């Protein structure tokens, strides 16, 4: 399987090099079909490449073609180089022929012959409740442990699957098209306020927190980092210590991904409209070290805040929810969502007593600060308000030259006009 990873990475890098140095002229850069013909010729001349599986290498070209086509919409840009020990993986297309069915459950028919269309499916056998096996070309049957979705029922038919090697462990992921959540079956609008202390505060009162590494696991990370720092350079002890650190950190990454998947599925299946506050996470987590001429201040404190923000999975939760509920996720401008009273609409900086307490200085409304912000997000109230008045709402708080008071805003303020 490591040889399959090397072949897939080699073919991918050849495609990247070809498109990087391609000079635009009368003919465009070669597509997937032309690259497959070039791969066939290269396999005749290269014994090392010919020893690998042709389907694995063609799937690497197919992945490159998909990445090229989605370079403007995926957010990752142009496909880049893949490196050894970092990008270890390959994709396998199924070899078993199975009949295909449409979304309505009716069999797909060939318009020319009138016969049912046969598609390719991965050869998978379930051994028991926890284990199954898949046939990998050149390796035979490979056992794998089932995830929570595969336990208790029959395995869904998958056309392709991808095998990856990370942190000393092999993983297999099957490409199965999930069933879309019917928007007509769900109702209601939910607002989500994201924070560091509470990952996601929902407007219905629920507070969801992304699981993190335990205190014991963090202590183990520090212990192994000290061992690695003291070990001789290039020694096996240093490599083993760093491998243990990587394994422990991977636990936190897996927990965060699992939480985001489950939370986004719950939101897509429960609510018709899902509203997030619009956060520029890349700007929020930018380093504060500055330059040599103008060094930054509180650099270490800002670095800790950046790690805390990135550990919550804000962007992954928003992206996976949009993918599972397309067209039903909206962004609300973030300014003043945490300073606006959800009861009367009055905006005052002094109403935010602390991280968790919100007490409106105008009407006296008391609520959890994160829950108050999520209610404003659900109502679509955000953005920059109109100029302040000279007298506060309700005659309680008067706007002065240094006051942050703002007059109540209607629900339509902050909704983009185009």
| pLDDT per position as a tens digit, 243-278 | 899 889 989 999 999 999 999 989 998 898 999 988
Do 215 and 305 fall into the same domain? yes
Q: Which of 56, 91, 126 is the last residue of a domain?
A: 91
Do 101 and 86 fall into the same domain? no
Q: Does pLDDT of 279 surpass 80? A: yes
Q: What is the pLDDT of residues 26-61, one digit of tens each?
A: 577 788 899 999 999 999 999 999 999 999 999 999
* Predicted pLDDT of residue 95: 74
Q: Does pLDDT of 7 surpass 50? A: yes
Compute the C-alpha angle 390/393/394, nearest 5°.
Answer: 125
Do 259 and 156 fall into the same domain? no
Q: What is the pLDDT of residues 10-28, one digit of tens each?
A: 999 999 998 887 766 657 7
Residue 417 lies in a domain: no
Residue 119 lies in a domain: yes
For residue 200, what are the β-bridge partners? 194, 208
* Predicted pLDDT of residue 397: 42
Ranking 38-42, 57-61, 229-233, 396-400 by mean pLDDT, the lowest is 396-400
Do 209 and 82 fall into the same domain? no
Q: How confident is the model at residue 418 (pLDDT cuts 50, 70, 90)?
A: very low
Average pLDDT of the segment spanning 148-175: 79
* Predicted pLDDT of residue 236: 92
Residue 207 lies in a domain: yes
* CA–CA separation, 250 and 344 (whole Å): 46
Q: What is the pLDDT of residues 352-388, one digit of tens each?
A: 888 888 898 888 888 888 888 888 888 887 665 654 4
Residue 415 lies in a domain: no
Do 256 and 304 fall into the same domain? yes
Q: Which of 331, 361, 382 is the last residue of a domain?
A: 331
Contact 166, 250 (CB under 8 A): yes
Q: List the domain range (segments joined by +) for residue 82.
A: 2-91
Q: How confident is the model at residue 108 (pLDDT cuts 50, 70, 90)?
A: confident
Q: Does pLDDT of 68 surpass 60? A: yes
Between these two residues, 385 and 90, which has the higher pLDDT value? 90
Q: How confident is the model at residue 151 (pLDDT cuts 50, 70, 90)?
A: low
Average pLDDT of the segment spanning 145-173: 79
Do 82 and 111 fall into the same domain? no
Residue 404 lies in a domain: no
Between these two residues, 99 and 104, which has the higher pLDDT value? 99
Residue 368 lies in a domain: yes
User: What's the DSSP call for residue 126?
Assistant: E
* CA–CA separation, 156 and 150 (whole Å): 8
For residue 276, what are the β-bridge partners? 192, 331
Average pLDDT of the segment spanning 287-311: 88
Do 218 and 301 fall into the same domain? yes
Do 209 and 86 fall into the same domain? no
Q: How confident is the model at residue 8 (pLDDT cuts 50, 70, 90)?
A: very high
Count of domains forming the chain: 4
User: Which residues, 6 or more positions from 97, have their beta carbon under 8 angstroms from its beta carbon?
Assistant: 118, 119, 120, 121
Residue 80 lies in a domain: yes
Q: Which of 308, 331, 354 is the last residue of a domain?
A: 331
* Predicted pLDDT of residue 82: 92
Contact 288, 347 (CB under 8 A): no
Q: How confident is the model at residue 185 (pLDDT cuts 50, 70, 90)?
A: low
* Predicted pLDDT of residue 232: 93
Do 298 and 240 fall into the same domain? yes
3-state secondary structure of 51: coil
How far is CA 392 from each of CA 139, 281, 347, 398, rounded to the nearest angstrom?
A: 75, 34, 10, 4
How far is CA 299 from each of CA 196, 222, 245, 288, 308, rounded to the nearest angstrom?
A: 18, 21, 24, 5, 14
Residue 170 lies in a domain: no
User: Which residues, 6 or more positions from 378, have their beta carbon under 8 angstroms from its beta carbon?
Assistant: 189, 190, 191, 203, 275
Q: How confident is the model at residue 9 (pLDDT cuts 50, 70, 90)?
A: very high
How does DSSP assign 201-262, residue by residue? EETTS-EE------HHHHHHHHHHHHHHHHSPTT-HHHHHHHHHHHHHHHHHHHHHHHHHHH
Do 117 and 49 fall into the same domain? no
Q: Does pLDDT of 342 surpass 70? A: yes
pTM of the model: 0.72
3-state secondary structure of 40: helix
Do 119 and 208 fall into the same domain? no
222-228 contacts, C-beta under 8 A, 24 or more apart: 224/248
Average pLDDT of the segment spanning 104-117: 75
Do 55 and 15 fall into the same domain? yes
């Amino acid at each position: 399987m490591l040889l399959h990873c090397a072949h897939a990475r080699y073919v991918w890098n050849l495609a990247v090099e070809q498109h990087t140095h391609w000079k635009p002229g009368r003919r465009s850069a070669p597509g997937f079909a032309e690259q497959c013909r070039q791969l066939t010729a290269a396999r005749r001349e290269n014994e090392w490449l010919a020893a690998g599986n042709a389907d694995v290498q063609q799937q690497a070209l197919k992945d490159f073609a998909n990445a090229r086509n989605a370079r403007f919409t995926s957010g990752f840009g142009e496909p880049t180089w893949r490196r050894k020990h970092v990008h270890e993986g390959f994709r396998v297309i199924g070899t078993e022929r199975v009949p295909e069915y449409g979304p309505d459950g009716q069999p797909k028919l060939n318009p020319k012959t009138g016969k049912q269309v046969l598609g390719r499916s991965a050869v998978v056998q379930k051994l028991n409740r926890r284990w199954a096996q898949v046939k990998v070309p050149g390796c035979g049957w490979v056992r794998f442990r089932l995830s929570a979705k595969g336990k208790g029922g029959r395995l869904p038919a998958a056309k392709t699957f991808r095998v990856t090697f990370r942190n000393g462990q092999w993983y297999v992921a099957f490409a199965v098209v999930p069933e879309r959540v019917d928007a007509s079956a769900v109702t209601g609008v939910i607002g989500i306020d994201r924070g560091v202390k509470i990952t996601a505060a929902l407007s219905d009162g629920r507070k969801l927190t992304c699981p993190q590494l335990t205190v014991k696991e963090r202590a183990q990370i520090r212990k192994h980092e000290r061992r690695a720092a003291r070990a001789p350079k290039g020694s096996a002890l240093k490599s083993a210590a760093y491998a243990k650190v990587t394994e422990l950190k991977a636990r936190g990454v897996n927990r965060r991904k699992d939480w985001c998947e489950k939370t986004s599925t719950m939101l897509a299946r429960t609510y018709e409209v899902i509203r997030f506050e619009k956060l520029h996470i890349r700007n929020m987590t930018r380093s504060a070290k500055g330059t040599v001429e103008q060094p930054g201040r509180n650099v270490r404190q800002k670095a800790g805040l950046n790690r805390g923000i990135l550990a919550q999975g804000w962007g992954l939760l928003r992206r996976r929810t949009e993918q599972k509920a397309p067209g039903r996720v909206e962004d609300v401008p973030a300014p003043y969502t945490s300073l606006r009273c959800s009861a009367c609409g009055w905006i005052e900086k002094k109403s935010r007593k602390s991280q968790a307490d919100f007490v409106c200085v105008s009407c006296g409304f008391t609520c959890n600060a994160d829950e108050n912000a999520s209610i404003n997000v659900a109502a679509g109230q955000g953005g920059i308000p109109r100029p302040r008045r000279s007298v506060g709402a309700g005659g309680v708080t008067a706007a002065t030259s240094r006051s942050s008071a703002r007059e109540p805003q209607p629900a339509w303020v902050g909704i983009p006009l185009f």
